[in-house]
Amino acid sequence: MTSSPLDAFLRKWRTVGGAERANAQPFLCDLCELLGVPGPDPAKAISQILHPRPPRPNRAALPRCLPASPCARTTIRNA
């Protein structure tokens, strides 16, 4: 008796345990293969162009305050 691709898919994924998130990508890839549709495309760097991160401050240009300096005492009083 030959098993159909659907039977093999169901047999494989019916017995899988563990975390759903860990199995989500392999499940979707197998499902796409079963349905005969192209799988998901890899992520592209366009998301970084659409949602850029704000620039980080240059830490070398920031004043460095020591615990005993007047700068640190002013910061604590105003906090």
pLDDT, tens only, 51-73: 667 777 776 666 666 556 555 55
Token digits for 3? 């098993």
59 lies in some domain: no
Token digits for 19? 């975390």
36 lies in some domain: yes
Which of 36, 42, 50 minimizes the C-alpha distance to 6? 36
Q: How many domains, in total, are found in the chain?
A: 1
21 lies in some domain: yes
17 lies in some domain: yes
- In angstroms, rounded to a whole number, what is the distance separating the alpha carbons of residues 27 and 11? 12
- In angstroms, rounded to a whole number, what is the distance separating the alpha carbons of residues 22 and 75? 46
32 lies in some domain: yes
pLDDT, tens only, 36-54: 999 887 776 665 666 667 7
Which of 40, 36, 37 minimizes the C-alpha distance to 24? 40
2 lies in some domain: yes
| Full-model pTM | 0.49
